[in-house]
Structure 1
Amino acid sequence: MTKEWALFLSTFATLLAIINPFEALPIFLMLLEGKDLSEHRRVAARATLYATLLLFFFLIFGSLIMQLFGVPLSMVRIVGGIILVKIGFELFSPSPNGGSIIPDASSKTANFAFVPLALPIMCGPGAIATVLGMQSEIKEAPEHIGRFAATSLAILCAMFVTYLCLAYAGKLVDKLGPMGIDATTRIVGFFVSAMGVGLVFNGVLQGLHEHGLIAPP
C-alpha cells in the first residue's frame, strides 16, 4: 500500500467518523419536517457543498493561519488529537439533549444548510483539526503533491457519503431505528477516540524532536 493510498484511507475514515452523518439524521429530519424528497436533496447538497468549501479553506490556508498565530505543527497535532478524543468520548457516552445548535424550526428564512448542518455539524472543531493535522503531514512529506491530492479526494468522498446519508435520511432512519443509530454512534466514538490518541502521540514525538530532546525517527 502506497503512502498516498494509506493517507487517503486514514483521512476518509477519520473525517467520516467525526462528521458521523448518522448523528445528524434526526436533526436534519426535524429541520425539514413536512418537506418532500426533492427539498431534502436540495438542502443536503447545499449543506455538503458549504462544508466541503470550509474544509478545503482550512486545508489550503491552514498553514498560513498557523503562521499568523505562531502555532507549530506539533501543537496542531496535539490539540487536534485532544479534540478528537473529547468528541469520541461524547459520542460513546449518552448524548445530552443537545438542542442548543438547532435554530427555530418555525423560521422559514433560516439557512439550515449552512447553520447548523454545514457548521458546526459537518465542519466542526474535530473535522477542522483533522484537516489541519493532515496538512502538517502533507507539508513535511517530499511527495506533497500526491499527498495533497489524496487528502483532497478523501474530503470529497467523505462529503459525498455524507450527502447520500442526508438525502436519504428518512429511509436510513426507518431501516436503522433509534437503537441502530445509537449503537453506530457509540462504535464510531470509540474509533474517533483512538484516532485522537494517535494524533496526540505523534504530536508529542514531533514536539520533542523539534526541541532536540529525542533523535529523529
Structure 2
Amino acid sequence: MPAHSSYDLLPLFLTSFTTLLAVINPLEVLPVFLSITHDKDESARRRVAIRAAVYTAALILFFLFFGAAVLKIFGVSLHMVRIAGGIVLTRIGFELFTPSRSGESSFLDPGPDANIAFMPLAMPLMFGPGVIATVLGMMATIEKSDHELAAYAAILGAAGLAVLVTLLCLVFAGRLVKWLGRTGIDAVTRIVGFFVSAMGVSLVFDGVMGALITYGVKVVL
C-alpha cells in the first residue's frame, strides 16, 4: 500500500482493527482465561485481564516501531514478511475452522507463582505468531510517504481499540460465555477463521506481487 491520503486512512484503520481483533480472537481466549482464574474473584480477574491487555499492547508497540530493525538484523525484506505473515494467517484461519481445543490447554495449571497475565494470556494466546505476522505485515504496507505518520497513527489507534475490545471481553468473560454459549462461540470462531484466511491470502498475494516488481519482473494484471 503506497502513499496514504486522508481518504484511505479510515479503510486502513478499519482493516487494521478487524485484522488484529480477528487474529487475537478474544472468544478463543475466554475459555482459557476462565479456567486459569477459576479460583479468583471478579476483582482479581479484572486485574489479571488489565495486566494481560497492557502486556499485549506493549508487545504490539515494540514490533510496530522496532520491527524494521529486527528485520534488518536478520536480513529479511518487507515483501518476505508479507508472504510469511500471510501464510501464518492463512494457517491460523484454517485452524479456527476445527473444533476448539481450548479446554485441552496445557496452561490450565500454570502454578501458584506464575504470572498468568503475561503467560499464557499475553503470550502466546493474545500475542502469538499470528499477531506478530499481522503487525509486521502492517508495517510492511507503510512505505515512505508524506502520510507515513498518519498511517502509523491509524494503525496505533486500531491496535489500541483491538486490545480494548479484548480487555472488555475478558472483563465480562463470564457473562459472554453464558450469553453466547459454547455453540455460539464456536460459530463465531469459524466465521472469524474464514476472514482470517482471506486476509492471509491477500497478504501473500501483495507480498508476491511486490517481490516480483522489486526484482524487475513485469507484472500485467
- TM bracket (short chain): over 0.9
Alpha-carbon deviation of 1:3? 1.6
1:124 & 1:22 partners in 2: Cα distance?
A: 15
2:177 & 2:144 partners in 1: Cα distance?
A: 42
2:196 & 2:83 partners in 1: Cα distance?
A: 14
Q: Which amino acid aligns with 2:28?
A: E
Q: Which residue of 1 aligns with 2:195?
A: 191
CA spacing shift, 1:20–1:134, aligned 2, 3 Å: same
Tell me the TM-score normalised to structure 2 length: 0.93
Q: Which residue of 2 aligns with 1:208?
A: 212
Please, which of 11, 19, 22 is the counterpart of residue 14 of structure 1? 19
1:43 & 1:112 partners in 2: Cα distance?
A: 8
2:208 & 2:106 partners in 1: Cα distance?
A: 33
Match of 2:165, SS state, is helix
Superposition pairs for residues 35-184 of structure 1, below 5 Å? Answer: 35-96=40-101, 99-105=104-110, 107-184=111-188
Please, which of 4, 19, 30 is the counterpart of residue 25 of structure 1? 30
Contact 1:7 1:150 in 2 (8 A): yes
Contact 1:85 1:194 in 2 (8 A): yes
2:8 & 2:106 partners in 1: Cα distance?
A: 38
1:156 & 1:74 partners in 2: Cα distance?
A: 25
2:146 & 2:156 partners in 1: Cα distance?
A: 17
Larger mean Cα displacement after TM superposition, 169-178 or 140-149: 140-149
Alpha-carbon deviation of 1:39? 0.9
1:141 & 1:130 partners in 2: Cα distance?
A: 21
How many residue pairs were aligned?
A: 216
Contact 1:101 1:116 in 2 (8 A): no
- Quick one: percent identity of the two aligned structures? 53
2:69 & 2:34 partners in 1: Cα distance?
A: 38
The one-character-per-residue Cα deviations of 1:162-188 (angstroms, maximum 9, x if unpaired) are 000001100000000000000010000
Contact 1:12 1:155 in 2 (8 A): yes
Q: Which amino acid aligns with 1:177?
A: G
Tell me the TM-score normalised to structure 1 length: 0.95
Q: Which amino acid aligns with 1:15?
A: L
Q: Which residue of 1 aligns with 2:3?
A: none
> What 5-or-longer segments of structure 2 have no aligned partner?
1-5
Contact 2:100 2:186 in 1 (8 A): no
Q: Which residue of 1 aligns with 2:10?
A: 5
2:101 & 2:152 partners in 1: Cα distance?
A: 37
CA spacing shift, 1:40–1:65, aligned 2, 3 Å: same
1:27 & 1:79 partners in 2: Cα distance?
A: 28
Moved beyond 4 Å, runs of 4+: none
